[in-house]
Amino acid sequence: MLPNRSRLSVLVFLLPPLLLYGVAVLFPIMQSLFLSFFSWNGISDMEFVGLTNYVRMLTADDVFWRSFFNALGYLAICLVLQLGGALLVASLLTSMRRGRELIKTLYLLPAVISTVAIAFLFVRIYSIEPVGLLNQLLHWIGLGALERPWLSDINSVLTAVSAPEGWRFTGLYMLIIYAALLSVPQELEEAARLDGASRWQLFTKIRFPHIMPVWITTTIMATTYGLRGFDIPYLMTNGGPGQSSELLTTYMYKTAFTAQTSATQAPSPCSSSSSAWSP
């Protein structure tokens, strides 16, 4: 604590950020929670209904559960691609001598591209008419049987909309994990090597335990971003075909802003999913 500070100076520094945060984040969350106990179509008077919205959402709304499980699947694919890919590349990078900077830059490149552009790009990658990159590649390596319109096949669509999100941010997490790996003490690794530890042992016994705190932070980050995922599924398939790629976020958005008839439900998915998401 600074010796010469006054209560006023603390307020001067603290109030403006708190104000913005309150207006943009805290207050809307409270409002969402508040609205979820009412039945309201946006025009007429609000009517207090208690937990009815929640009950209806949890018991009578199939789409909610469908999109809930889809969101989990989406999250799982994103995490595997982002964290798995990040850990793999970061570990391999530490053993490289040259070109590290170049690879870090190239790897981070997709993060700069807007989701709308990425959605366009992947629509073409998955397309079958004219034949897109993925189907062409499968054809070449002799897996022609797997060729399909990835985005209109209900079995592949969830994977197809999750992969771009995973692809996009792998580089970001790779950088963070790479930095953590570099901070593993050299002496420790050296000593283990002299004792005859294999690379795999070195990784599981020394490196990974050492980066554990960073790994946890990264996992939390990737999980929250994964649960926030919206743009790419919304733009590529809008939840379709049917509800096979509907996520909680896209469902929430569509209920609130497109389907007029069910406007009363809107606040309820918002707040309940928020309570489900905050640990």
Query: Considering only residues 57-86, where is the footprint of other proteins by CB under 8 A?
Result: 80, 84-85
Under the binding rule (CB under 8 A), the answer on residue 25 touching other proteins is: yes
Nearest approach, Cβ of 60 to other proteins (angstroms)?
21
Q: Which is nearer to other proteins, 59 or 278 (CB)?
A: 278
Q: Which is nearer to other proteins, 52 or 115 (CB)?
A: 115
Instruction: Using CA atoms of 200, 206, 211, 216 in order, give the dihedral in degrees to the nearest 10.
Output: 70
- With CB under 8 A as the contact rule, the residue among 46, 58, 72, 256 that binds other proteins is 256
3-class SS string, 89-152: HHHHHHCCCCCHHHHHHHHHHHHHCCHHHHHHHHHHHHCECCECHHHHHHHHCCCHHHCCCCCC
DSSP letter at 197?
Answer: -
Within residues 212-251, the interface with other proteins by CB under 8 A covers 213-214, 217-218, 220-221, 224, 227-228, 230-231, 235, 249
**In whole angstroms, what is the distance from residue 36 CA to residue 29 CA?**
11
Which among 56, 62, 57, 54 is positioned nearest to 33, based on CA atoms? 54
CB 273 within 8 A of CB 248: yes
**In whole angstroms, what is the distance from residue 138 CA to residue 239 CA?**
26
Listed ranges 45-53, 57-65, 101-109, 145-153: which one lies at the site for other proteins (CB under 8 A) = 101-109
Under the binding rule (CB under 8 A), the answer on residue 210 touching other proteins is: no
Within residues 2-21, the interface with other proteins by CB under 8 A covers 2-7, 9-10, 12-14, 16-18, 20-21
Q: Which is nearer to other proteins, 42 or 241 (CB)?
A: 42
Under the binding rule (CB under 8 A), the answer on residue 206 touching other proteins is: no
Binding letters toward other proteins, positions 151-190, x by CB under 8 A:
----------------x--xxx--xxxxxx-xx------x
CB 247 within 8 A of CB 67: yes
Q: Which residues of 123-134 are buried (b: 16+ CB within 10 A; e: fewer)?
A: bebbbbeeebeb
Under the binding rule (CB under 8 A), the answer on residue 143 touching other proteins is: no
Kindly determine how many residues on this chain lie close enough to bind other proteins according to the rule CB under 8 A.
112
End-to-end CA distance of the chain: 31
Nearest approach, Cβ of 93 to other proteins (angstroms)?
7
